[in-house]
Chain A
């Protein structure tokens, strides 16, 4: 089995299945913090998918995207949590089952 077949038939489907599981948590998540955790992990899985793409098609340019994605994931998580505490969250607190 060559490298391209292995990446196309094993690595990328595993990453796709994990993205689907994370999306289930995004839609199901009882509170907003669960959705923030899930979106953070989704961006990190996206970095992994880009690195698999870079190995598969032999493109070095794709590596630059991973740094930008890591930056955006960190900044969005910190901004969500920092400003959600300060806001009026009393009405969101009771929609958990």
Chain B
């Protein structure tokens, strides 16, 4: 009976990873590609690791897999956020059907700060970072 649960979760994970890779290939923009790959990829790998935990049915393996899943859920959004921030700073173009861009012209390339986070007086007194 446990075999069917293992195969079910493995199938769910593999299909989600396939959807993530198709989204990475077919989306028109780096931000949309990043959204598709991170969300679907994380859920797919978490589902496949749950399948491994059901297959071995051991407490040590369960703790190990819970650690891996929690680590993935914590770190993948952080990496995606840094990727999106860097892509916006270096000026990668968005899709031509994008409706609005709130961070447009908000980055100060000389001081390496965002204008929304600083007042006007503090912006002039900052020293330039290395």
Contact = CB atoms under 8 A, between A and B. Distances in A.
Contacts of A7: 7, 10
A93 B87 CA distance: 11
Interface residues of A, number: 48
B68 A33 contact: no
Given A14-B14, A21-B25, A31-B92, A78 B55 contact: no
Contact of A78 (B25, B52, B71, B78): B78
Interface residue SS majority, chain B: helix
Contact of B52 (A36, A51, A81, A93): A51
A15 B56 CA distance: 22
Interface residue SS majority, chain A: helix
Contact of A31 (B30, B75, B76): B30
A93 B78 contact: no
A90 B13 CA distance: 40
A18 to B, nearest CB: 4
Contacts of A36: 83
Contacts, number: 150
A21 B24 contact: yes
Interface in A1-45: 3, 6-7, 10-11, 14-15, 17-19, 21-22, 24-25, 31, 33-34, 36-38, 40-41, 44-45
Residue of A66, A70, A71, A84 most packed against chain B (CB within 10 A): A66
17 contacts: A7-B7, A14-B17, A21-B22, A22-B21, A37-B34, A37-B37, A40-B79, A41-B38, A41-B41, A44-B42, A44-B45, A48-B13, A48-B45, A52-B14, A71-B71, A81-B86, A96-B93
